Structure 1
Amino acid sequence: MAPLDTHGLLVLAATPLGDSRDASPRLVEAIGAADVIAAEDTRRLRSLAAALGVTPTGRVVSFYDAVETARLDGLVGAIEQGQTVLLVTDAGMPSVSDPGFRLVAACVAKELPVTCLPGPSAVTTALALSGLPCERFCFEGFAPRKDGERRRFFANLAAEPRTAVFFESPHRIAATLALAAEVLGADRRAAVCRELTKTYEEVRRGGLAELAAWAGAGVRGEITVVLAGAVPAPTADLAELVDRVSELVDAGSRLKDAAGEVAAEAGVSRKQLYDAVLESRRG
């Protein structure tokens, strides 16, 4: 990485999720040295700077969703003129469900240097606390607001083997978890992480239906949900399943009922199993 006082540079900086003590010394240095600071919320930037005991010496401009596109030319121009632009969002890493991607893309397109000051991330913090497998995971951003889109969102995760992480509003979390339980199953494991690194940090782990019931009483704060990946159905030996159906039939069950019961337990097609039983009897 180039030194922070090197001009003509875009610096993406992760900011604390809640506890200002998580800020890195490099972030403190960057806030004090940058020519321009593009902040998602300028008031929160100044509050963070005060907590860190540093005073921004450069120009501070707002850089939130509604003005992101309008600010691009000015910020890219500042970098082209040799200035260091520091980009910070309210918490965590810029571009990760926060403003930043468009500015990075614009700099890359013009072959301007971009670097990053790593730091806190709600995604990886929640993943580590979830107690769920995290060797492989996917990040899904914010869950959709509309019911139909949310239903499709979870349907797309039904067979996803990786652990999934997504953000949700406290006002919608109960409905979102209830819909997830409906689509993915009441017992699909998940963890709801709220107020990470803050005074009232809480992590709730359990099945989706259990978590939906808990959230129904009301939940506050910033929320990250970690959802267990789908468990692949075991590969069943068809001959063994046929034998199991035959045992149930011999014990008094109807053939169709027995085939349906065994197929459901094994996660295979009832028709395929039923036809296999009939074929075995013909032989």
Structure 2
Amino acid sequence: MKIFKEFKEFNEYVGLKMPVDNDIDIGYYDAANMRTKSEAVTADFYRISIKFNYVDKSQALPKPIDAIFFSSPTMSNGWNVEPNYTGMYLQLSKKIIEENRFLFKTYLDYGQHEALFLTKNEVDEITTLFGLMHKYYISESRNFNVLLSYVNVLISVVETFYSRQFSTNPKQYNRIVTDFQQSLKDYYNQPVKQLPNVQYFADQLGLTPNYLGDIIKHFTNKSALENIHEFVIKKAKELLEKNTSMNNTEVAYHLGFEYPNYFSKFFRKQVNLTPKEYREKIKNL
């Protein structure tokens, strides 16, 4: 598999213009002069692709869409597309992301799991915004901080578009929420060696942790980690109430805590009682 470390070599492979900066690259697609088919490749940087009239021939029922796609350094992507789409792209080095993480949202790590489908008004808005950003990018007098501000505005606009998409297609996302909740229930139906975490459930559902986390937060008003912690506390209470033969240490290990004292601190933080105090309270009810 080809791995592209720099914008320049990736752009040359795809058929894009040469970048004018090593940490940020902004440009327009010219599909007629680009590679329309490729085996999976990895770009060792972040990419936001905005594509209009885009037809992916690898889909079961190919049809043109207007959408935003994301890829991160851990993603491998191939493509087989019609050569008549238009659009824009933004490429960001890992260095610029790490140095300015506060500017960016989790969408950069959505990867191939979730395209953002655009309405006509959103196409107009993002095209106008991108045009301003690109104009400033190619200017000889460009200021890097101002350019990053433009990028931040683009990402913030994308956030509002995702909220709209989550809300207008609830069936698709409710299924993910349901599958997450079922996976939580199934977790303790087997011996466990560690506490459940977001990465585990994302892997179970074939999603990225950020994508799963944002859907769970949108539909439950709590983060995925908060949902997990609530479920662990629920299981802890059940064990403390019904399995009186198990001491607190055994309960901790059964739940996947590496250290019993961490279980006690975790339980007290969530319930405002230690496991021992909780058992005493239940006895006195």
Question: TM-score interval w.r.t. the shorter chain?
Answer: under 0.3
Normalized per residue, which structure has more helix? 2
Higher relative contact order, chain-length normalized (CA < 8 Å, sep 6+): 1
